[in-house]
Structure 1
Amino acid sequence: MLPPGMAELLQSASLLVPEETATGNDLTAADVWDHLAHDEWETALNLLEEFGDAGPLPLSFWERLAETAEQLRLERSAAWCHWRCAEIRNGMVRADLTLRPAGETRRTTPIPGAGVLRPMWDIGHLSPTGGPSVSIAALWVENLPELEPGGRATVRLVPLTPAHWTHLRPGQPITLHEDRTAGGTAVVLETRPPAASTPGS
């Protein structure tokens, strides 16, 4: 039995996708409506999530998808949609991260991929005494459930304090810390500032 309001949530989310927007497989919002007409709710949700890579969508879009994913009890999908909401509010940095091998740092277990870890990052700021001043950002590993020590992956970072991160540019190196030792090094691939606080954003 479909939870009340789920169809309306997905329909209203699909209306926020521009008509010309298509996924990498050339699917459009019209395809979402086709899945909705056949009660294929999870497929429609997954397709709507893919539109997020085709161009910026408003905060309300991701909020509706997050609510739908929670009603469907799709935990990782719900976490991803909430993550995209956080990217819109706080900005986002994509980076190519390489973790140091086990034995070289305190960490001996994989980093969880779904945005639960909030490590510190040396992004080039100095403290009043001249030493490094770290900033905190949550970490999402793209396309992997977790990242093993010594592993390499593209990650997305959501800054806790967005103003600390505005100077970063593609190609810039940053360093992950979970304690005083460096836990990994990353190269910035892309930066996005927080979305402007406008209606529907």
Structure 2
Amino acid sequence: MDVPELLEAASLLVPEETATANDITVRDVWDYLVHDEWEVALGLLEELGGAPPCPLAFWEKLAEAADQLQLERSAAWCHWRCSELRNGVIRAELTLRPAAETRRTTPISAAGVLRPMWNIGLRSPTGGHAVSIAGLWVENMPVLEPGGRATVRLVPLTPSHWTHVQPGQEITMHEDRDAAGTAVVLEVHGPRT
């Protein structure tokens, strides 16, 4: 499929009554598609896809369109949303330790490239702490500096490890043996396809 076909197909998966905070609707998307303004249509569909959550096929079509348009950030976001639907997502408020207290001295990229280990309360067979891996996307910022704080989205590598995680729970991020930061869980959503 080419870009317009992908965007048209994705727009058909958005409930007609859905509107963004700025009152953008699917009808507005179609106006941009008619005028071959595909980047704008893609951006509006990304906004419309958040609430209520659209199905996996919607995000797959948007990811393919963004890839074809060579829009790296949009493609990364759409692929990320596909991962959230397949593996679940945990939203949390993360506070990184300052650079002087940890090995990390550079900012974390917001675009889901870091996959740190998390102490989420699991135990190893010998009784020690066990960690589980989850990808990390920082919301509404390009990077998260050491010592900084932000709302993050976590996509578990092994969703079954995370079924006990609940809102209000504190979890610890590790990039090595030392804690790199702590997060308080805000929301937990299991896999959906």
TM-score after normalising by structure 2: 0.98
Q: 1:20, CA displacement in angstroms?
A: 1.0
The separation in 1 between residues aligned to 2:49 and 2:120, in whole angstroms, is 27
Cross-structure match for 1:112: 109
Cross-structure match for 1:9: 6
- CA RMSD of the aligned region, Å? 0.9
Cross-structure match for 1:85: 82
The residue identity in structure 2 corresponding to 1:187 is V
In the TM superposition, structure 1's runs of 4+ consecutive aligned residues that sit over 2 Å from their partners are: none
Cross-structure match for 1:51: 48
The separation in 2 between residues aligned to 1:186 and 1:20, in whole angstroms, is 35
The separation in 1 between residues aligned to 2:50 and 2:95, in whole angstroms, is 24
| Residue 173 (str. 1) matches residue 170 (str. 2) | yes
The residue identity in structure 2 corresponding to 1:67 is E
* Gaps in structure 2 of 5+ consecutive residues: none
Secondary structure at the aligned position of 1:116 is classed as strand
Q: 5 Å matches for 1:1-201?
A: 5-195=2-192, 201=193
Cross-structure match for 1:198: none
The residue identity in structure 1 corresponding to 2:151 is T
Secondary structure at the aligned position of 1:53 is classed as coil
The residue identity in structure 1 corresponding to 2:72 is E
* Gaps in structure 1 of 5+ consecutive residues: 196-200
The residue identity in structure 2 corresponding to 1:19 is E
The separation in 1 between residues aligned to 2:89 and 2:152, in whole angstroms, is 10
The separation in 1 between residues aligned to 2:41 and 2:168, in whole angstroms, is 36
Deviations 1:127-152 (A, max 9, x none): 12222110000000001111000000
The separation in 2 between residues aligned to 1:121 and 1:179, in whole angstroms, is 10
Deviations 1:113-138 (A, max 9, x none): 10111000000111122221100000
Matched-pair contact (CA < 8 Å) for 2:14–2:48 = yes
